[in-house]
Amino acid sequence: MRKKRVMVIGPSRCGKTTLVNELNDYHGELKRTQDMIYGKNTIDVPGSYIENSWMYKHIIAAAQDASHVLILIDQSRCTDVYPHGFAKSFRCPVIGVITKCDLMEENKEICIKKLKLIGISEPYFHISSSKGIGIDSLKKYLFGSG
């Protein structure tokens, strides 16, 4: 049986690769993701896959190897990239993650509304990789350790 990984989806520059590196306990150089990358614990999906609707079928197919899907929204620029009800496309649990939660606090409620429109139920995780906020609680939720 293949190992199930956590799929991480989000628009370009929302903090996906930084979060993926944290979830894989990798602290090396950051590289822009152009293809899906299967890491130790994750599947890192390039932003272009969610920014182009014709790529959704590839995301949904790859999610068959996922234990969870993390859908990221960047609090510093919460743009509309996900279609309404998109979370219902997946068989595994879908978790809402608000990245860069230390920036633009006034966008917090907008991001929560967007997660609900996407079809994601609480709990939502508010994280900031630069400040170390929320990463441990997300890891504990996903893997049972922090």
- Domain span at 22: 5-143
DSSP 97: E
Q: What is the CATH number of the domain that holds 31?
A: 3.40.50.300
Which of 63, 40, 48 lies closest to 14 in space, CA to CA? 48
How many CB atoms are located within 10 Å of the residue 136 CB?
13
pLDDT digits (tens, 9 = 90+) for 115-145: 999 999 999 999 998 899 999 999 999 998 6
Question: Residue 8 has what pLDDT?
Answer: 98
Q: Which residue has the higher pLDDT, 34 or 4?
A: 4
Per the listing, tokens 């939660």 go with 101
Say what percent of the chain tops pLDDT 70: 97
How many domains are contained in the chain? 1
Look at the pTM and tell me if it is higher than 0.85: yes
